[in-house]
């Protein structure tokens, strides 16, 4: 079975960005609970933090999954 690295990376990156947005919205809605649960994390709840955070999670996850799929395909051909 061959994986499509770009499509898999796009799907994983989109999923990670959406999860980041959901977490950001939960922290915005329940700041006291978030602070209690994560005492040592500083939250950047600005719109710029939302945009930069979701973009960085999208890019980082997409790159990692692309590399995983490309490596998987290469290893499958090496048999």
Residue-wise pLDDT tens digits, 45-62 = 899 999 999 999 999 999
pLDDT of residue 79: 67
Domain ranges, ordered by start, for the chain: 5-77
pTM assigned to the model: 0.80
Could you tell me the two tokens for 4? 């499509």
DSSP symbols for 10-79: HHHHHHHHHHHHHHHHHHHH-HHHHHHH-TTPPP--SHHHHHHHHHHHHHHHHHHHHHHHHHHHHHHHT-
């Amino acid at each position: 079975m061959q994986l499509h690295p770009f499509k898999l990376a796009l799907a994983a990156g989109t999923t990670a960005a959406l999860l980041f947005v959901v977490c950001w919205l939960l922290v915005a809605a329940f700041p006291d609970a978030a602070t209690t649960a994560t005492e040592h994390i500083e939250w950047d709840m600005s719109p710029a933090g939302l945009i930069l955070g979701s973009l960085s999670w999208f890019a980082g996850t997409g790159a990692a999954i692309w590399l995983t799929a490309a490596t998987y395909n290469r290893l499958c051909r090496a048999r």
